[in-house]
Amino acid sequence: MSALPPKPRTPHVITLVAQPLPTSTLERAKTCLQAHGSSVQGEKWLSQGRALDVYCDLRSEQAEPLTEALWSALPGVDLAVMPQRNRRKRLICADMDSTIVVGETIEFMAEVLGVREKVAEITERAMRGELDFTQALVERVRMLRDLPAERLSDIAASLQYHRGGRRLIATMKKQANALAVLVSGGFEPIAEVVREHHDFDRQVSNVLGTTGEGNLSGTVHLPVVDGDRKLEIFQSSIHDHRIPANLTMAIGDGANDLPMIRAASLGIAYKGKPLVRQATRFQINHTDLMTALYYQGYEDSEIERVDWS
């Protein structure tokens, strides 16, 4: 029996991003391409000195080993290897805590009651995939019992955001008419503030129980927004808005983000836990959320200039 012919090569693009991009980056990328039987066919600056597109031909199965070779050759550089077609996505589903927001909002709530360290330990293990997310959430929420619900407004008002998040959402909505969904294992009052601040089209998050005195009861309404629920929201967004699966993006950092990251055509681990980084070759480890725009081929001149904060 004769061997099957190799799959044809298709136009691919390697996007390289750093702050700033080292001068040796292109030459090192060329060396990696040559080792994989390809070569540079063109290049274009997306952001001068910061983000560079390098064009080449590859077979689809070469993208993953080339990515790993580039990671080894270019430490400190965020990069993506993907087909040139269908780069600009029409759906973004984004996690909130440690993705859009700096830190974990449940820990800010726990700090008010003096139990932050206990909650943070459970959160870290859950995000690494070591604990069942629902059980871990129920356990942490129980520790928040008697927290005045009004304190959530203060926490929401004091949030810090990862750089580039507002520009990411604004640009995808303006340039690609994208649907932007905030899907969070965090809690409704805070997630609603984040939705409004970043102009997400909708948000889905957990709902906390309260007492008649206006304090948290230590309970969370079921079903919780776990990985399966995030995937469900991702899939329903595709279906309801008739968005092709190859025009979808999901971004997050924790194990509960993995189902939607795996389902998206551009599934990005943003400063992700090891389990998440192992699951996708699309990662942002060194730069900011603007890099998700560069991966889609946006140039600085196309990016909406909304405030960073």
Marked catalytic residue, from 53, 57, 78, 95: 95
Token pair for residue 73? 């050759």
Phi, psi of 295 (to 5 degrees): -60, -30
Residue 37, amino acid: G
Neighbours of 149 (CB within 10 A): 16
How far apart CA 18 and CA 177 sit, in angstroms, is: 27
Marked catalytic residue, from 97, 226, 253, 257: 97
How far apart CA 186 and CA 225 sit, in angstroms, is: 8
Sheet order of strands, 248-252 included: 202-206, 179-187, 91-94, 248-252, 266-270, 282-284
Catalytic annotation present for 240: no
Is residue 141 within 8 Å of residue 218, measured between CB atoms?
yes
Chain-centroid distance of CA 57 in Å reads 27
Catalytic annotation present for 95: yes
Q: Where are the alpha helices (DSSP H) in 36-180?
A: 63-73, 105-112, 116-127, 133-142, 151-157, 165-176
Q: Where are the alpha helices (DSSP H) in the chain?
A: 25-35, 63-73, 105-112, 116-127, 133-142, 151-157, 165-176, 188-198, 227-241, 258-263, 274-279, 291-295
Q: Which residues are catalytic?
A: 95, 97
